[in-house]
Structure 1
Amino acid sequence: MAVETVAGTTISISPTRPAAFDEAGYTALTGWAKIGEITDGGSHGRRYNEATHNPIDTRGTQKFKGSFNEGTKTLQLAMDRSDPGQVVLSAALNSDDDYSFKVVYQGGDIDYFQAKVMSFEKSATSVDSIRSASVELSLTTSKDGIGIVEVTAP
Structure 2
Amino acid sequence: MSGVETVAGTDISISASIPATFTAAGYTALVDWAEIGEITDGGSHGRKYNEVTHTPIKRRGTQKFKGSFNEGNKTLQLAIDDADPGQEILKIALDSDEDFSFKVTYQGGAIDYFQAKVMSFEKAAAGVDSILSATVELSLTTSKAGVGIIEVPAP
CA deviation map 1:105-139 (0-9, x unaligned)? 00000000000000000000100000000000000
1:14-37 alpha-carbon deviations (Å, 9 max, x no partner): 000000000000000111000000
Who is 1:103 aligned against? 104
SS at structure 2 position matched to 1:102: strand
2: CA distance, partners of 1:153 / 1:28: 18
- Residue number in structure 2 paired with 1:150: 151
Identity %: 75
Q: Which residue of 1 aligns with 2:137?
A: 136
How many residues are aligned here? 154
Instruction: Give the AA of the match of 1:97.
Output: E
Letter in 1 for 2:42: G
Partner SS, residue 87 of structure 1? helix
Deviation at 1:56, TM superposition (A): 1.1
Which residue number corresponds to residue 81 of structure 1? 82
Cα distance in 2 between the residues matched to 1:2 and 1:46:
23
What code does the residue aligned with 2:44 have?
S
Task: Name the CA distance, whole Å, in 2 between partners of 1:19 and 1:61.
Answer: 43
The runs of 4+ residues in structure 1 deviating greater than 3 Å are none
Task: Give the unaligned 5+ runs of structure 2.
Answer: none
Aligned residue number for residue 15 of structure 2: 14
CA shift, 1:87, in A, is 0.4
Aligned-residue offset at 1:57: 1.2
Corresponding residue number in structure 2 for 1:67 = 68
**Aligned-pair Cα RMSD in Å:** 0.6
* Secondary structure of 1:90's aligned partner: helix
